[in-house]
Amino acid sequence: MSLLTFWQSSKDAVLKMSVDRLVSIAGDGALKDGSKTSFELRTFLAEVDAERLASYAVYCLENPFPDSGRVLQDVINEVGRRLGFVVENGRYQGVRNDIGFDGLWSSDHVSLIVEVKTTTAYTTDLDVIAAYRDRLADANRIPENTPILIVIGRNDTESLEAQVRGSRHAWSMRIIGVDALAKLMRVNLSTFSQEVTEKIHTILQPFEYTRVDKIVDVVFTTIEDKTHESDSFDEVQDKGTARTQRQIDKTPRSILDAKKVAAAQRLSAKLGRPLVRKRYSLYSDSTDQLHAVIAVSKRYTRSGSDFYWYAYHNEPQRTFLRVADKGYMVFALADSEESFAVPYEVLEKHWDHFYETVQDNGSLYKHIYIYHELGNFHLRVNKIGGTEIDLSQYLA
């Protein structure tokens, strides 16, 4: 049974396997360029969560096996995708008349050539890496002077750091450890804002460190982003009296995160296409053609009615759904295992009919109310006479 077939039928069993064992059951077990083994491994890595990726990287470093360097290269490239880059996997082994590189990472603002090293115990020829960069630029595959990011598995990087600092490549190469790169991935997946992603991309490039403004910008923007990342409300507004009632029973973040994971798994099973988190609340499949935004709300009670209250943001949620071939806004319930995957087109039809809030920074979100009455769930469109959308057809 191939890795992908086993993965589709027995996910829990596959996740208990070590990564070297996974390689042995992928294809013919030989991890070579262009092989079925490589295809299956990369497809599998694209479908596991970020913490699993980080654990596979650690395993490759702490438990070396014949293909551990190649597996680490694939894992790091998948980490690049979770950081918001478009990634082209490089070759495992250089060949004549082909340009050797481990990965090409690009976004709207940044391009990087990525070189993955398990250790710095051996001398790294920086001129060879730079020559790969120049050949790629000559072939119009990357912009000229694209910086090089060297990802190192071990912490013994002093000699390599000194080598870079003392060379002509000091302003075109940077070094980052696997652990640090995994931390940036976690930050990116926890953020609500594309701006944070772009700032993370910025600090992976070479820049002058006498002033640390860019690093401070990343920290500040991430903290500021946390104040705007709500999917649901902890305040109930009584519009009749212009009164706000503070709710003291805030749902713990751990429960909200678990609900999102469970909702993503249910939608993945329903559609037959695994979804992984790209940023806070934003999920996509490995092709990036299927997008889902997952929000969770606790139950509120007002005037004898039970309802769930969500924020549907214009940015990034609505835009994220719009650019996909198929998009779903998933409304999960904090006190139930049920969730509803409403197609983007359905919400878009009523966009102008939902109540809205415009924040001080100019961002806008719509208020989505889901009522639970007589055992049924329906989404209420308030501005057009309380029109209700039966959610039973969207149960996921």
CATH number of the CATH domain containing 104: 3.40.91.50
Classify residue 211: in a domain, yes or no: yes
Clarify whether residues 204 and 250 are in a common domain. Answer: no
Query: Which residues, at least 6 apart from 200, have a Cβ–Cβ distance to it below 8 Å?
Result: 83, 84, 184, 187, 188, 218
Can you list the alpha helix ranges (DSSP code H) found in the chain?
3-9, 11-15, 19-25, 36-45, 50-62, 68-82, 126-138, 158-165, 178-190, 194-203, 213-226, 253-271, 319-322, 344-349
Contact of 43 with 7, CB cutoff 8 Å: no
In 3D space, the residue among 47, 79, 52, 118 whose CA is nearest the CA of residue 204 turns out to be: 79
Query: Which residues, at least 6 apart from 111, have a Cβ–Cβ distance to it below 8 Å?
Result: 104, 105, 142, 143, 146, 147
Count of domains observed in the chain = 2
Report, as ranges of residue numbers, the positions in the chain whose pLDDT lies below 70. 120-123, 155-156, 208-216, 218-250, 384-386
Final residue before a domain boundary, out of 175, 207, 225: 225
Task: Give residue 231's pLDDT.
Answer: 59
Identify the domain containing residue 324 by its residue range: 235-394
What would the pLDDT profile of 148-168 be if each residue is shown by its tens digit?
999 998 766 777 888 888 888
Clarify whether residues 149 and 210 are in a common domain. Answer: yes
Classify residue 369: in a domain, yes or no: yes
Backbone angles phi, psi at 95, to 5 degrees: -135, 160
Task: Give residue 224's pLDDT.
Answer: 58
Classify residue 31: in a domain, yes or no: no
Final residue before a domain boundary, out of 179, 197, 225: 225
Round to whole Å and give the CA distance between 262 and 336: 11
Final residue before a domain boundary, out of 225, 255, 288: 225
Classify residue 1: in a domain, yes or no: no
Clarify whether residues 61 and 175 are in a common domain. Answer: yes
Classify residue 38: in a domain, yes or no: no
Classify residue 24: in a domain, yes or no: no
Clarify whether residues 90 and 113 are in a common domain. Answer: yes
Task: Give residue 211's pLDDT.
Answer: 59
What would the pLDDT profile of 111-134 be if each residue is shown by its tens digit?
999 999 887 666 678 888 888 888
Classify residue 21: in a domain, yes or no: no
Clarify whether residues 217 and 77 are in a common domain. Answer: yes
Clarify whether residues 212 and 250 are in a common domain. Answer: no
Task: Give residue 167's pLDDT.
Answer: 82
Clarify whether residues 185 and 54 are in a common domain. Answer: yes
Clarify whether residues 217 and 301 are in a common domain. Answer: no
Classify residue 250: in a domain, yes or no: yes
Residue 128, classed as helix, strand or coil, is: helix
Clarify whether residues 363 and 295 are in a common domain. Answer: yes
Clarify whether residues 189 and 303 are in a common domain. Answer: no
Clarify whether residues 131 and 279 are in a common domain. Answer: no
Clarify whether residues 384 and 240 are in a common domain. Answer: yes
